[in-house]
Amino acid sequence: MGPLLTRRWPAMALAATWAAAAACAQSDRSDRNEFYFDASAGYVSADTDLNTWTEGGFSKLRYTDDDFEPFRLFGEYHGRISPTLRARVVADYVDDDSGGIDFTEAVLDWRPVPRSRNQQQVRFGAFYPSFSLENTDRGWQSPFTYSYSAINTWIGEEIRPFGAEWSLRRRFDGFRSNHEVRAFAAGFYGNDPAGTMLFWRGWSMHDRQSRFNDDLKIPPRPFTTAPPQQYSPFRETDHRPGAYAGVEWRYARRALIQLARYDNRADPYSFSGGQWGWGTDFDQLAVQVSLPANLGLVVQSMEGYTEWLTATLPNGTRMPISEHVKDEFESSFILLTRTLGNAQRVALRYDTFAYERPGTVPEFYGDEGDAWTLSYRIEPTQRFSGGIEWLRIDSSRDLLPMFYATPAEHLESQVRLQFSYSLAAPRR
């Protein structure tokens, strides 16, 4: 399968989703179609001495200047194709070097009528894995903060499988039981370069989601004057399918615990369409608990490895000093949130993150640090919302002074004032 076809996979999944929805909608007037639109903009005040990562810099922030910014414009379509089959497509517009209109998800969702306490679901297309307890709003946004945790920022940047996910949900001790378990598993293609961004730029914290055909910029190779490298996170390089699976337990709406594992099974020696494979796998634990006094707690922890070849060139050749390495990455966050009445919410989150190469002498820390986020949001009407967020990131990268003549330690902060307008078209 050639590079051109692998690059067209997302478009093919999108076209199949639209075609199925359109054909069935024409044959059944009882189908319901729902459209949702959201536009957000505001003012950002950032304090950092690094260049933004969207321009190939090392900053962990999306914005590095004080200015008015259009954050995101997206539309989400839900269509009922049949009583058990639905389609969902999310189109996204951002204004940066890899901006314009593109798609983040295109999914067909089949939920057969259960004949027992077992409820099955199959998703097909391009979608986010069922990992995030933080990004649960429309358009895979967070209802708690504007900038996502380091874990979910990275998932939004580099993790987007094209495949099928099966899940089974079972409620115990009768229909009205409060205890429920769910298992899920998926096979997919694409996502072979996932892990590239973690090494070259490190962890980050923002709200930009990579779209199907984005060519992201990563920092230039050291000791050169070449422009930033281009990176496409959702390519297939070795024709080997990846997989992920997980299990979760839920008690009513009060508690949820999830264990999951992801492995893209990429061959680090593979190269296709200008992208090298990065063999990336990770385990994660996520917990969500409803506490007294309208408090909510979300905790997520991730630990994994990525295998890749050093000293490789964008044209697919290896330099004589090229070697296979296996780097370790990990990140965790704890988020505490409280609703104030029906229209306001405050949230406080603490993140830690690290990227290192075990066993090296001296020890190599590609990236390590922590961050605090404090957010206040208000939604006075169904269409208008707004809020303010403060974000502070303290990090250190060994390779900056070694290869880029830049200090290793950096303290970055950001204040973000945001206003959003949303519109849901009537169902029909």
Quick check: 340 and 346 in contact, CB under 8 A? yes
For the ranges 32-41, 54-63, 223-232, 258-267, the lowest mean pLDDT is seen at: 223-232
Residue 363: is its pLDDT beyond 70? yes
Residue 5: is its pLDDT beyond 70? no
Q: How far is CA 329 from CA 150, 158, 304, 358, in A?
A: 12, 14, 5, 10
Q: b vs e for 153-188, b when ≥16 Cβ sit within 10 Å of the residue's Cβ?
A: bbbbbbbbbbbbbbbebbbeeeeeeeebebebbbeb
Radius of gyration of the chain (CA): 22
Quick check: 79 and 33 in contact, CB under 8 A? yes
Tens of pLDDT, residues 90-108: 999 988 877 789 999 999 9
pLDDT score of 246: 97
Tens of pLDDT, residues 198-252: 999 999 999 999 999 998 888 888 877 777 888 899 999 999 999 999 999 999 8
Tens of pLDDT, residues 245-280: 999 999 988 999 999 999 999 999 999 988 999 999
Q: Which two tokens stand for residue 159?
A: 């993790």
Tens of pLDDT, residues 333-355: 999 999 998 899 999 999 999 99
pLDDT score of 226: 73
Question: pTM for the whole thing?
Answer: 0.91
Backbone angles phi, psi at 381, to 5 degrees: -135, 170
pLDDT score of 362: 73
> Helix count (H) and strand count (E) of the chain?
4, 20
Q: b vs e for 364-381, b when ≥16 Cβ sit within 10 Å of the residue's Cβ?
A: bbbbbbbbebebebebee
pLDDT score of 253: 83
DSSP states of 215-270 as a string? -EEEPPPTT--PPPEEE-TT--SSS--EEEEEEEEEETTTEEEEEEEEE----TT-
pLDDT score of 212: 92
pLDDT score of 427: 53
Q: Which of 285, 280, 86 is nearest to 188 (CA)?
A: 280
For residue 3, whether the previous peptide bond is cis, meaning omega lies within 30 degrees of 0, is no
pLDDT score of 1: 45
Burial of 196 (0-12, 13-18, 19+ CB in 10 A): buried
Burial of 70 (0-12, 13-18, 19+ CB in 10 A): middle
pLDDT score of 404: 87
Residue 47: is its pLDDT beyond 90? yes
pLDDT score of 425: 66
pLDDT range class, residue 37, cuts 50, 70, 90 = very high
* 174 vs 114 pLDDT, higher one: 114
Tens of pLDDT, residues 280-338: 999 999 999 999 999 999 999 999 999 999 988 888 899 888 899 999 999 999 999 99
Q: Which of 347, 311, 346, 351 is nearest to 224 (CA)?
A: 311
Q: Which of 195, 230, 244, 8 is nearest to 106 (CA)?
A: 8
Q: What is the mean pLDDT of the chain?
A: 89
Tens of pLDDT, residues 372-408: 999 999 999 989 999 999 999 999 998 899 888 899 9
pLDDT range class, residue 2, cuts 50, 70, 90 = very low
